[in-house]
Structure 1
């Protein structure tokens, strides 16, 4: 709302902010919840478990009651399967990242780079998905097996954004590592690794966002309900894979 009032495209603003805020808010609450649950007794944990089960059941049935609108039902029906699949993919991605942790921890400065790299990769994918969804809804983009000219322009804009964003990630990771007295690769290597891996990531995300948007739209599903969850849930495994690939090419890993 505020971005629209100022003449900014909400697709370019809301998704990165929400993606960033999600991590900033979720992680502290996750650790707080862990601390609280560990400190509870057995009966309190069981009672809390049943309370959340009841709340979960209620939250599922309320949208199908007379109190909710048809639009809310549509969101639930379309989003729930994708969110469940996204949760499974996110868990799988986390396990892959965990298995790669020991190999990555010995690479100077890469762990400093990784959170921002994955975060901004997801944000760029979210921006593109939101743009495709808006274009499909207003009719400026039509379904096509091969991306039309308008889609290629969006692809190019994401790559141009990536040139700036991923270069800065490499620079920031270098100086943050230096300030923390962490051994780090040379500055030019940090920039090159971040930039090349980021551009490969954007290339993959471009086509993921396009085909997820147009296929869902063709089948009568709102792309807003499916594309961003798909991209964000796949970002950890794809982004980590891109980084590992570039590290292998550079002979670092």
Structure 2
């Protein structure tokens, strides 16, 4: 698929601000939900302090995974080498790479949290931490993949440069879902 010149919007500051300002306002409101969820879980995070150590990495890595995929899709779109076709092997290779990276990162997060817990005396079991980290992390990675695909394709269809929209959309949405999923899975595993 060859993308015609100028079909993905303009690189002019006015065009970018016009497209992004309303989107950023909506995303700010959405991110408030993550903050409210974190505030509501404050007692539980104080009781299980080791979970509070995991929160920043959990949320940050989910957004980063989505940003990686979004960037790769946007680049392929600009080069005219992508089609949003379920049979596209390169697309699936990118998705599988992101999922493999998620397994690696979230396993390392659980092990790192467990080691920190051993040092500071706030230990949770390694099995519980692995379950929490992997279920939360892989769920967030799946959401990141879905929103990366949707944001890139939606931007392209609207004639907006995906480089301007995909990363803010994906990282903010994944932040919110990441927080909600992490707190929900932690509560289910640890019984709070």
Q: TM-score, normalised by structure 1?
A: 0.66
Aligned residue among 14, 24, 29 for 1:88 = 29
In structure 1, what is the Cα distance between the partners aligned to 2:11 and 2:136? 43
Q: Deviations over 1:152-201 (max 9, x none)?
A: 221111110011111111111122233223x2211232123211211111
In structure 2, what is the Cα distance between the partners aligned to 1:79 and 1:177? 42
Verify: 1:218 aligned to 2:174, yes or no. Answer: no
What's the offset of the Cα at 1:118? 0.8
Verify: 1:243 aligned to 2:174, yes or no. Answer: no
Any stretches of 5+ residues in structure 1 without a counterpart? 1-68
Q: Deviations over 1:105-146 (max 9, x none)?
A: 3235211111111111111111111111111111111245x5
In structure 2, what is the Cα distance between the partners aligned to 1:168 and 1:80? 37
Q: TM-score, normalised by structure 2?
A: 0.85
What's the offset of the Cα at 1:247? 2.6
Verify: 1:180 aligned to 2:120, yes or no. Answer: yes
What's the offset of the Cα at 1:70? 5.8
In structure 2, what is the Cα distance between the partners aligned to 1:147 and 1:210? 14
The answer to whether the Cα contact below 8 Å between 2:151 and 2:170 also exists between their aligned partners in 1 is no
Q: Secondary structure at the match of 2:92?
A: helix
Runs of 4+ in 1 over 6 A off after TM superposition: none
Structure with bigger RCO (C-alpha 8 Å, 6+ apart): 2
Q: Secondary structure at the match of 2:12?
A: helix
Q: Deviations over 1:21-49 (max 9, x none)?
A: xxxxxxxxxxxxxxxxxxxxxxxxxxxxx
Any stretches of 5+ residues in structure 2 without a counterpart? 1-9
Q: How many residues are aligned here?
A: 183
In structure 2, what is the Cα distance between the partners aligned to 1:200 and 1:82? 25
RMSD: 2.0
